[in-house]
């Protein structure tokens, strides 16, 4: 049942996205981390309402953001494996945090940002050097 729900969400997202305009809202298209990981803050001129993680080549759905608005916390955040993405509600700053890379193979994930009637994406990469 859960798989069917994910498939419906993905198909619905693509249908809805076809009506939206691509605009990265001045957020960077690529963010790169070194082997040690760390935290990178990026800014744009519009605030994201949510975001979705997907594979960089096949667009396979990997997860989406969560909104925490309880008890005065107003954060939109999401984690996929080695990458955490956070922003405050109505903030133009996104914080990307990567865990240290273990091994000699790089990795990448795509973060799709939704701005209401626009969408954009940040390709996040981590290299072993």
pLDDT higher than threshold 60 for residue 18: no
pLDDT digits (tens, 9 = 90+) for 47-85: 888 888 888 877 777 777 676 555 566 888 888 889 999
Are 117 and 21 in contact by the 8 Å Cβ rule? The answer is yes
Average pLDDT over residues 26-52: 92
User: What per-residue confidence (pLDDT) applies to 73?
Assistant: 67
Q: What is the pLDDT of residue 49?
A: 83
Residue 16 scores a pLDDT above 70: no
Amino acid 45: pLDDT: 92
CA angle 51, 76, 27 (to 5 degrees): 50
Identify the residue with better confidence: 90 or 43. Answer: 43
pLDDT, mean of residues 81-105: 91
pLDDT of residue 90: 86
Number of helices (H), then strands (E), belonging to the chain: the values are: 1, 11
pLDDT value, residue 77: 86
Q: Which of 117, 120, 119, 50 is CA-nearest to residue 89?
A: 50
pLDDT at 100: 95
The two beta strands, 66-68 and 30-33, are unpaired
Q: pTM of the prediction?
A: 0.77
Q: How far apart are CA 41 and CA 129, in angstroms?
A: 21
The candidate with the shortest Cα–Cα distance to 114, out of 81, 67, 71, is: 67
Q: What single DSSP character describes residue 99?
A: P
Angle, vertex CA 108, rays to CA 18 and CA 62, nearest 5:
55
């Amino acid at each position: 049942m859960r798989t069917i729900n994910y498939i419906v969400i993905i198909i619905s997202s693509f249908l809805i996205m076809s009506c939206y305009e691509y605009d990265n809202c001045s957020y960077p298209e690529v963010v790169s981390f070194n082997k040690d990981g760390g935290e990178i803050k990026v800014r744009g001129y519009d605030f994201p309402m949510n975001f979705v993680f997907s594979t960089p080549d096949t667009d396979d759905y990997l997860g989406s953001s969560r909104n925490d608005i309880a008890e005065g916390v107003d954060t939109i955040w999401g984690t996929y494996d080695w990458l955490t993405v956070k922003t405050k509600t109505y903030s133009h700053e996104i914080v990307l945090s990567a865990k240290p890379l273990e091994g000699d193979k790089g990795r990448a994930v795509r973060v799709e940002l939704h701005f209401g009637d626009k969408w954009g994406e940040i390709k996040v990469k981590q290299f072993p050097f």
